[in-house]
Chains A and B, each alone.
Chain A
Amino acid sequence: MSQPIPVSASDWNHFFDLAAVIALIALAIVMGAMIYFIVRYRERKGQTKFIPDVSLKKGRARDSVIFASISIIILVSLVVASYQLTPNARFEPAVSKSMVIDVTAYQWAFNFGYPNGVNTLDNLILPGNTTVMFNVTSTDVMHNFYLVQFKVSIEAIPGRYNILWITTPAVNGNDTYSYNIYCKELCGVGHTYMDANMTVVSQPAYNQWLASQNATISSGTGG
Chain B
Amino acid sequence: MQQSHQVQEAKAIVFSIKDWLTTTNHKQVGILYIVTAIFFMAVAGSFGEMMRTQLAVPNNNFLLPFTYDQTVTLHGLLMILWVLTPLGIGLANYIVPLQIGAKDLAFPRMNALSYWTYLFSGIMLVSSVFMPGGGPNTGWTLYAPLNTIQFTSQAGMTLAVMALLLFSLSVTMGSINFLTTIVRNRTKGVTWKRLPIFTWSIVFTMALALFAFPPLAAGLLLLSSDRFLGTVFFSSTQGGGILWDELFWFFGHPEVYIVVFPALGVIAEVFQTFAKRPVFSRTAFIVEFAAVTFLSVGVWMHHMFTTGVNYSVLQTFSFTTLAISIPFEGVVLGLVLTLYKANIKLNTPMLYCLAAIFTVTLGGITGVLQAFPALDYAFNGTYFIVGHFHYVMAGTTLFALLAGLYYWWPKITKRKPNEIFGIIIFVVSFVSFNILYFPYFFMLDMPRRISTFSAASGLASLNLTATIGAYIFGPAAALAVLNLVLSLRKPPSSGPNPWEGRELEWTGDYDGSLGTATATAGTAVDPPENTRSSHWYWCRTSSCASVETVVDSTGKSGYLKKSAGVES
Q: Chain A residues in contact with chain B, CB under 8 A?
A: 11-12, 15-16, 19-20, 23-24, 26-27, 30-31, 33-34, 37-38, 41-54, 56-57, 59-61, 63-65, 67-68, 71-72, 75, 78-79, 82-83, 85-86, 89, 91-92, 140-142, 144, 146, 148, 151-155, 157-160, 162-163, 180, 182-192
Contact = CB atoms under 8 A, between A and B. Distances in A.
Given A12-B375, A30-B333, A91-B373, A157 B241 contact: yes
A213 B373 CA distance: 37
B143 A142 contact: yes
B546 interface: no
Given A60-B281, A142-B241, A160-B308, A50 B361 contact: no
A163 B111 CA distance: 49
B358 to A, nearest CB: 6
A57 B361 CA distance: 31
A141 B151 contact: yes
Contact of A162 (B276, B282, B307, B315): B307
Interface in B313-337: 314-315, 318-319, 322, 325-327, 329-330, 332-334, 336-337
Interface string B262-290: 00000000000001111011111100100
10 cross-chain pairs, A with B, having the tightest CB-CB distances, nearest first: A159-B237, A184-B381, A162-B308, A64-B284, A45-B565, A89-B374, A37-B339, A151-B378, A52-B558, A60-B281
Given A30-B332, A51-B560, A46 B143 contact: no
29 contacts: A16-B369, A16-B375, A30-B333, A34-B336, A38-B344, A44-B563, A45-B565, A49-B563, A50-B560, A51-B276, A52-B552, A53-B540, A56-B531, A59-B281, A60-B284, A64-B334, A67-B329, A68-B330, A71-B326, A72-B326, A78-B372, A142-B145, A144-B380, A153-B378, A155-B308, A160-B308, A188-B69, A188-B146, A188-B151
Contact of B365 (A23, A92, A157, A184): A23
Given A19-B375, A53-B540, A160-B308, A59 B143 contact: no
Contact of B339 (A12, A19, A38): A38
A60 B280 contact: yes
B559 A142 contact: no
A59 B277 CA distance: 13
B409 interface: no
B238 interface: yes
Contact of A38 (B69, B354, B450): B354
A210 to B, nearest CB: 28
Interface of B: 65-66, 68-69, 72, 137-139, 143-146, 151, 236-242, 275-278, 280-285, 288, 306-308, 311, 314-315, 318-319, 322, 325-327, 329-330, 332-334, 336-337, 339-346, 354, 357-358, 361-362, 365-366, 368-369, 372-375, 377-378, 380-382, 445, 447-452, 528, 530-533, 536-537, 540, 549-550, 552, 556-566
Nearest to A88: B374
B447 A52 contact: no
Nearest to A59: B283
A50 B552 contact: yes
A186 B374 contact: no
Contact of A86 (B278, B336, B374, B449): B374
Contacts of B311: 91-92
A19 B105 CA distance: 46
Contacts of B532: 56-57, 59
Nearest to B529: A56
A191 B380 contact: no
Nearest to B541: A53
Contacts of B137: 188-189
Given A38-B339, A45-B563, A64-B284, A85 B241 contact: no
Nearest to A24: B365
Nearest to B531: A56
B434 to A, nearest CB: 13
Contacts of A19: 368-369, 372, 375
A216 B321 CA distance: 51
A12 B378 contact: yes
B185 to A, nearest CB: 26
A15 B251 CA distance: 31
Contacts of B531: 56
Task: Give the residue among B378, B448, B452 with the most A Cβ atoms within 10 A.
Answer: B378
A180 to B, nearest CB: 8
A116 to B, nearest CB: 26
Contacts of A186: 69, 72, 138-139, 143, 146, 448-449
B563 A33 contact: no
A190 B139 CA distance: 14
A75 B372 CA distance: 11
B378 A189 contact: no
A34 B560 CA distance: 24
Nearest to A11: B374
B325 A75 contact: yes
A85 B374 contact: yes
Contacts of A64: 280-281, 284-285, 288, 330, 333-334
A152 B552 contact: no
B235 to A, nearest CB: 9
A158 B319 contact: no
B115 to A, nearest CB: 32
Contacts of B528: 56
Given A37-B336, A38-B339, A78-B322, 10 more contacts: A31-B361, A37-B340, A43-B344, A50-B560, A54-B277, A59-B532, A64-B281, A140-B151, A151-B378, A162-B307
Contacts of B340: 37, 41
A15 B374 contact: yes
Given A141-B143, A182-B447, A34 B357 contact: yes
Contacts of B318: 79, 82
Given A46-B565, A51-B276, A186-B139, A63 B337 contact: yes
Contact of A151 (B327, B332, B345, B377): B377
